[in-house]
Structure formats: structure tokens, C-alpha cells
């Protein structure tokens, strides 16, 4: 099972709520510590991994930037 996190916006994806949720940097750091601990155990016990992903805020800022560039006629390669 993977725990999705976005360190840029300090958010974790809640599987229970099915949405991105804000967490403190200390909580995210602790989760990464658990990931390192589990990765150092036997492969049968290492079922949780923390993966860095883009959150909903990241996607919104990319959409806004793309829309702004389209309105200005800027083409990004």
C-alpha cells in the first residue's frame, strides 16, 4: 500500500476521505520515517511506502498557468 504525499503543499492523500488533506511538516516527516523503517525490515513486512506525488493544488496551479499562457498566446514545448 502506498501513502501519497506532496511535500510542496504539505498534503497527504486520505484514502478514507478520497481527497488530499493538509498535514503538518512534522507529521509528513514522521510518515517518511515510518517508510524508511518499514523498508529496512523483511520484504513481507514492508507493505507501506510513502510516494511523492503532485496533489490537487499542484494540478490547479499547472492548469492556471497553462490557461494563462494560452490566453497570452504563449506556446510551451
Mean pLDDT to the nearest integer, 5-10: 84
Check whether 7 has a pLDDT greater than 50.
Answer: yes
Distance set, CA 49 to CA 2, 5, 36 (Å): 5, 10, 8
Categorize the per-residue pLDDT at 45 as very low, low, confident or very high, splitting at 50, 70 and 90.
low
Cell of 60: 490547479
Q: Determine how many CB atoms are found less than 10 A away from the CB of residue 6.
A: 20
Confidence of residue 57 (pLDDT cuts 50, 70, 90): confident
How much of the chain, in percent, has pLDDT values that exceed 70?
69
Q: What is the pLDDT of residue 77?
A: 46
Amino acid at each position: 500500500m502506498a501513502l501519497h504525499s506532496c511535500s510542496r503543499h504539505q498534503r497527504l492523500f486520505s484514502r478514507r476521505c478520497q481527497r488530499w488533506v493538509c498535514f503538518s511538516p512534522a507529521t509528513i516527516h514522521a510518515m517518511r520515517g515510518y517508510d524508511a523503517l518499514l523498508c529496512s525490515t523483511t520484504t513481507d513486512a514492508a507493505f507501506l511506502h510513502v510516494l511523492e506525488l503532485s496533489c490537487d493544488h499542484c494540478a490547479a496551479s499547472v492548469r492556471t498557468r497553462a490557461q494563462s499562457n494560452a490566453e497570452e498566446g504563449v506556446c510551451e514545448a
